[in-house]
């Protein structure tokens, strides 16, 4: 598996990973609620993924020509995406993507990262050293976001 910067040509495949991950792996968050799922998926389009390659630090996990996961770091130090294909779940894809994002954040001189975790991913982030950073906030429809943060080691 290779972790690399996303290219505009990755947009279609990356978008499919995002949409499948949300629909199939985040059921504990959206509970199959159609309006919630529609709201969450609304901005997960190839056009937006292409745009994110230009204004975010967008990374993909790839293997054998297939995109296995997608993660993004905003210039302000927020992890805004971290999704894995249902076909690659529990293979270390998200862990590798977060490690790459943390490496990028250190290069950018960021002292800490923040994110809003789903209920589905909350244990994953806690195991990776992220701590709760406030009360849950409204997300898409019935979902909640769980603010978390992690201080980065000095480079």
Q: Give the orientation angle of helix 11-20 with respect to helix 46-55, to 10 degrees.
A: 110
Paired strand residues for 20: none
Give the pLDDT confidence of 62-111 residue by residue, as tens digits.
999 999 999 999 999 999 999 999 999 989 999 999 999 999 999 999 99
Q: Average pLDDT of the chain?
A: 94
33 closest CA partner among 140, 136, 148: 140
The two tokens of residue 96 are 């590798």
- For residue 84, give every residue at least 6 positions away whose Cβ sits within 8 Å of its Cβ, in sequence order, or none: 17, 21, 25, 61, 68, 69, 93, 94, 97
pTM (2 d.p.): 0.92
Provide the residue ranges of all domains of the chain, joining segments of one domain with +. Answer: 2-110
Give the pLDDT confidence of 8-18 residue by residue, as tens digits.
999 999 999 99
By CB neighbour count within 10 A (0-12 exposed, 13-18 middle, 19+ buried), where does 67 fall? buried
Homologous superfamily of domain range 2-110: Gcn5-related N-acetyltransferase (GNAT) (3.40.630.30)
């Amino acid at each position: 598996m290779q972790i690399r910067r996303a290219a505009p040509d990755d947009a279609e495949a990356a978008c499919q990973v995002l949409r499948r991950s949300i629909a199939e792996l985040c059921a504990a968050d959206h509970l199959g609620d159609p309006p919630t799922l529609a709201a969450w998926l609304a901005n997960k389009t190839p056009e937006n993924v292409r745009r994110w390659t230009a204004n975010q630090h967008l990374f993909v996990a790839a293997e054998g020509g297939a995109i296995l996961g997608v993660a993004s770091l905003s210039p302000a130090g927020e992890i805004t995406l971290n999704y894995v294909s249902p076909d690659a779940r529990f293979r270390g894809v998200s862990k590798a993507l977060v490690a790459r994002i943390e490496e990028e954040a250190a290069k950018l001189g960021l002292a800490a990262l923040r994110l809003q975790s789903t209920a589905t991913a909350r244990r994953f982030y806690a195991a990776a050293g992220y701590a709760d950073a406030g009360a849950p906030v409204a997300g898409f429809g019935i979902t909640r976001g769980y603010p978390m943060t992690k201080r980065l080691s000095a480079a």
